[in-house]
Structure 1
Amino acid sequence: MSNYAESVKDLDSYLSARVPVIAVHSQEQVRALRLVRQAASSPRRANLPFWIYTRATGLRDLRTNAPAQEDRSLTGAMDFAAQQFANRAQATVVFVDPENLSDDNTAARHFAELARLADSNSGSIVIVTDTPLWTGLGRLGMGVTLDLPDTDEMYEVIIEFLRDHHGVVPIAWTESDARRAAEFMVGVPEGTAINVLATMVAKGSVEKDDVAHLAEFKDKHFGALAGLERVRVNPDGPQVGGLSSLRSWLRRKQRLISSDLRGTALRPPRGVMLVGVPGCGKSLSAKAIAAEWRLPLYRLDLAAILGQFVGQSETRLREALDTADRLAPCVLWIDEIEKGLAGQNDSTGVGRRMVGQFLFWLQESRQRVFVVATSNDVRSLPPELLRKGRFDELFFVDLPDEQDRAEIIGMYHRRYVGTEPTPELVDKLVGLSDGFAGSDLESALHEVGEEVHLNGGAEALRTDFVLDTFTNTFPLSRTNPEQIEDIRSWGRERAVPAGRAFGAGHTGGTAPGQGRRVVVFGE
């Protein structure tokens, strides 16, 4: 059952029970008033009086919209309501967004007295508001919270709007396009969604590509938020080399995140934790996933979330995660997660509270937000973050083996030099690059590309220059072998290999028992 249907049911029950104060909490006043009118239109209430007060129109009959009195002030409306509650039974007065009811003040106490008068003669006050009520007023009645439209409600809004404009402008959307658009629009008010659809119609047609553009609209709607930023990704840019196991796993998760899971107990995929050797493409993997899945990518900057005041960091994190839910479906990238959620040696307790808050969201959120978290220093992370069931899987990204290095060299040679390398050159470079990470290979070939640019083309490129460039490149696995071996020792014992299992083609510079693949991206 949708939240709107549940809210109608709750409001109907409270009106039938003649609850003296009924608070309808909603960010969407128009939608909340539709809810109230629907409940008031029940045939069994045909003979019961309903009035509604707004600051713009004053007091009117809810059903006929006829003015009830000339005085348009809130005080005049409350005096009218007091007269009705005193002289007749089962009267209902709806007040739309009255001011100053959030704390203990004269207005709130006046409403509380009015509620007690209504209670004495089975009357009801309905308060439509987007702010909390003073507890002294709220405890006299019940509350209904009307959330923003969920996917099913938004789908109905879209279908109804397109139906009204069918034949007016060309509409290329299929049912699946409308369903995908509804998923993109979840988290925005119904009125805003209608405005966006009207803008599409106003340009003369509704095209299939308009669905993907809805993500850009959500960026503008939610604006900038500390700690959460949009990362622009070229859909045809990032390319992955290697990581066969991870890529196969992601293809399965892509099918799930785009599937209709209604009527099942399944929840959308939570995400993946990537750990491994620095420079092997863990961070850039988020871009590849977003590009391949055609989803917007957002980066959660934990450093920007940390505040100097008590509770500020936790509040900012909660706001960022709530916004991510509203931006769904999307990919949420948390780079070097250990820098913000380590928490083990934090004497203030902020880190531990942020870990708990993040894990609660990761466990309970049902929105299509796929988290890609990366870590270089996984030992500093709290154990509860790595427990099975937090993320969908924990993958280890290792140094590339010979086969992967050959693939990466070819990719970057084509990118920076502009030509296909000869098999003989590739074989020599593979031998010289044992222990190289993907970033080391890119750096070396970027320098080769600079030489090509400065000397007028690939024809003038000398093979010995390329070989010397690789010979003079010193990867982290050579300058800091202890650190790299420590990372690899942890990964091969506690994480799923992101590439194929140990065996084929893994040589020098690697510890026995390892055989991972590395991710490489070209844009």
Structure 2
Amino acid sequence: MSAISPFSFLYRMPVNEFTTELSALVKARFPIIYIITWEEKRFIDTVKSMIRDTTLFSKPRAVWEWTVVDGFVKNDKPEKGDIKTAIRALEYVDQSNEDGIFILKDLYADLAAPHCDQAIIRKLKDLVWKIKGGDYLKTVIITGHDKFIPDALQKEILIKEFTLPSKEEIQQVLFSLIEQNKQNQRLRFDVDADNTVSKLCEAACGLTLNEAENAFALSIVQDGILDANDITTIAEEKKQIIHRNGLLEFSMPKLKMADIGGLENLKKWLEKRAASWSERARQYNIPAPRGVLITGLPGCGKSLTAKTVSTSWNVPLLRLDMGAVFSGLVGSSERNMRNVIQTAEAMAPCVLWIDEIEKAFSGVGSSGDSGTATRLFGTFLTWMQEKEKFVFVVATANNIDFLPPELMRKGRFDEIFFVDLPTSAERTIILQIHLKKRLNNATVLGNTVVDDTFLQALVEKTEGFTGAELEQVVVAGLFEAFSENRAITLDDFLTAIDNTVPLVVTQAEKIKAIREWANLRAVSATSMNHKVAYEREPATGAAAPKMPAPALSPRGGRSIEF
């Protein structure tokens, strides 16, 4: 396959919110600005484009770049002199008699040292006041992939994050790649139909420009064609890139709402909010939903629901590993949370799934981790309250006792749903789903007919079983037949049920407490039509269960219809 020609990132950056804010800081003569970014090249191109924009700056300014390898480069031309140490670089800035922006690429390494040189700290402090009161318009910009600032300089330096590229910037990269390689007769670019360019760029959102270019180039060299079919390739490449940071897991599940048995209230609520980030939704002047908190018993469909939301809405699913966010290094946990938020917003529209959120924030308010959990919780709540990008948060929780009360108030999540043990009607649907999925071989099925009578026998004997337990009953029944090399029978499933001790028996007290909580604080995920069958106590009579099942109180959650 023919090689892909490289291209330059030196195109005109669009004037966006970041450019406007940075230009305001420069014109306001903020002396030292610290930019957190992984993209030095793109940031510097942004600065150069900003300086050339006459709508932002009427007076031209020079741009210096400094590294420990090359010293200073002014407007892309090397400066004379051996200025390759941090102290010498700061002295050069101090002695310069020109207006301009000094971008110090490698100074962060000196500030990050365990024992930062006191001379560097003192020089930066003095430089702040000299720049403010000097005759020349100077701005020092320090770049680094993380915040490396000694405590002594916390009040002297302004910190700002350089966000990941927008869809428009990624589109420019794609157009540059096509332009650079369009003369290659062995390559074909079919990007004119069905908004292919827009879809390709949406697939690459959340990547740096360099990562986006690599993903586009890989898509081309695999078959010599760039077209709508490459969206899958780009999504897979993005999945690998995002997975490497260890914080987010990217996926496009193939599950559907129909794979969930019951929970009709919750499903209808989600279905009504599909495409709520679209232009048509904006015409109705409705705000995009922030997210939903799903609490309830383990194994009753909370995680399954989170996975199906992204499929039904046709947006990526990002699963957040909160355990990976908490790092042993001071300040690293906060940085990880910022990275998660930044990546999620860059990939918008998307679904952010936080599984067992109570485990992440169980330490809120304590001093056992020096307040790290409290700080992360505060960052998360502020973002949930103020986020503008469409990142729909699906948080699931098993133990509501550990959830901080601040998480439950309106404005954080749009609604709190409670998922209880499946009703008789829901168990029928769940069993139908699993039996249909697994009993698709005539040899295994034999003469057994899975009809209403068959299902009713299973439903009546599985009262109090969770959805996960119902699935395992089907699997265990199949193992009974498999071990004897024969067709499946109803007795195989009934035996599996007899050998199962459900959650309603082993955790009766916990289930009762959760239901009492949900009766006042959450909306039932189950439809009223499915709920009626569960408003009674378990049947008592002839056949006593292996272990006595507790009386099932009415299902928790307010019974409203959507």
TM-score relative to the length of structure 1: 0.76
Alignment partner of 1:372 out of 383, 394, 412? 394
- Indicate whether 1:150 and 2:172 are aligned: no
Whole-angstrom CA distance in 2 between matches of 1:512 and 1:225: 45
Whole-angstrom CA distance in 1 between matches of 2:132 and 2:337: 43
Aligned-residue offset at 1:450: 0.9
Instruction: Give the aligned partner of residue 419 of structure 2.
Output: 397
Aligned-residue offset at 1:165: 5.7
Q: Secondary structure at the match of 1:371?
A: strand
Q: Secondary structure at the match of 1:256?
A: coil
Worse overlay, 114-123 or 448-457 = 114-123
Aligned positions of 1:126-275 closer than 5 A? 127=141, 129-130=143-144, 146-158=162-174, 161-162=177-178, 169-172=188-191, 176-203=195-222, 204-225=224-245, 228-230=247-249, 234-235=253-254, 239-257=259-277, 268-275=288-295
The AA in structure 1 aligned to 2:468 is: S
The AA in structure 2 aligned to 1:423 is: D
Whole-angstrom CA distance in 2 between matches of 1:504 and 1:117: 70
Contact in 1 for aligned 2:66/2:89 (Cα 8 Å): no
Q: Secondary structure at the match of 1:506?
A: helix
Instruction: Give the aligned partner of residue 35 of structure 1.
Output: 46
Alignment partner of 1:280 out of 300, 305, 311? 300
Whole-angstrom CA distance in 1 between matches of 2:71 and 2:330: 44
Whole-angstrom CA distance in 1 between matches of 2:508 and 2:160: 61
Task: Give the structure, 1 or 2, with the largest relative contact order (CA under 8 Å, sep 6 or more).
Answer: 1
CA distance change for structure 1 residues 135 and 442 in 2, over 3 Å: closer, same or farther?
Answer: closer
Whole-angstrom CA distance in 2 between matches of 1:205 and 1:243: 44
After superposition, give the CA deviation of every residue in 1:22-58 in whole Å (9 maximum; x if it has no partner): 7573633333333343345467999968474555766
- Indicate whether 1:444 and 2:503 are aligned: no
Whole-angstrom CA distance in 2 between matches of 1:136 and 1:344: 28
The AA in structure 2 aligned to 1:341 is: F
Unaligned runs of 5+ in 2: 1-12, 539-551
Contact in 1 for aligned 2:344/2:391 (Cα 8 Å): yes
- Indicate whether 1:484 and 2:511 are aligned: yes
Whole-angstrom CA distance in 1 between matches of 2:503 and 2:22: 65
Contact in 2 for aligned 1:235/1:294 (Cα 8 Å): no
Q: Secondary structure at the match of 2:225?
A: coil
Worse overlay, 422-431 or 208-217 = 208-217
After superposition, give the CA deviation of every residue in 1:183-232 in whole Å (9 maximum; x if it has no partner): 44444332332332233233322232433443433343345445x35276
Whole-angstrom CA distance in 1 between matches of 2:374 and 2:159: 34
The AA in structure 1 aligned to 2:470 is: L
User: C-alpha root-mean-square deviation of aligned residues, in Å?
Assistant: 4.6
TM-score relative to the length of structure 2: 0.72
Contact in 2 for aligned 1:406/1:430 (Cα 8 Å): yes
Aligned-residue offset at 1:67: 6.3
Whole-angstrom CA distance in 2 between matches of 1:12 and 1:313: 30
Q: Secondary structure at the match of 1:255?
A: coil
Contact in 1 for aligned 2:519/2:557 (Cα 8 Å): no
Contact in 2 for aligned 1:234/1:291 (Cα 8 Å): yes
After superposition, give the CA deviation of every residue in 1:460-496 in whole Å (9 maximum; x if it has no partner): x333343343345442334544433333333343322
Aligned positions of 1:287-366 closer than 5 A? 287-303=307-323, 305-306=325-326, 317=337, 320-326=340-346, 328-343=348-363, 346=366, 348=368, 351-366=373-388
Contact in 2 for aligned 1:254/1:293 (Cα 8 Å): yes
CA distance change for structure 1 residues 478 and 173 in 2, over 3 Å: closer, same or farther?
Answer: farther
Q: Secondary structure at the match of 2:528?
A: coil
Instruction: Give the aligned partner of residue 387 of structure 1.
Output: 409
The AA in structure 2 aligned to 1:189 is: T
- Indicate whether 1:467 and 2:494 are aligned: yes
Q: Secondary structure at the match of 1:279?
A: coil
Alignment partner of 2:136 out of 122, 128, 133? 122
Contact in 2 for aligned 1:417/1:452 (Cα 8 Å): no
Whole-angstrom CA distance in 2 between matches of 1:469 and 1:15: 71
Worse overlay, 129-138 or 212-221 = 129-138
Contact in 2 for aligned 1:331/1:370 (Cα 8 Å): yes
Instruction: Give the aligned partner of residue 97 of structure 1.
Output: 105
Worse overlay, 299-308 or 332-341 = 299-308
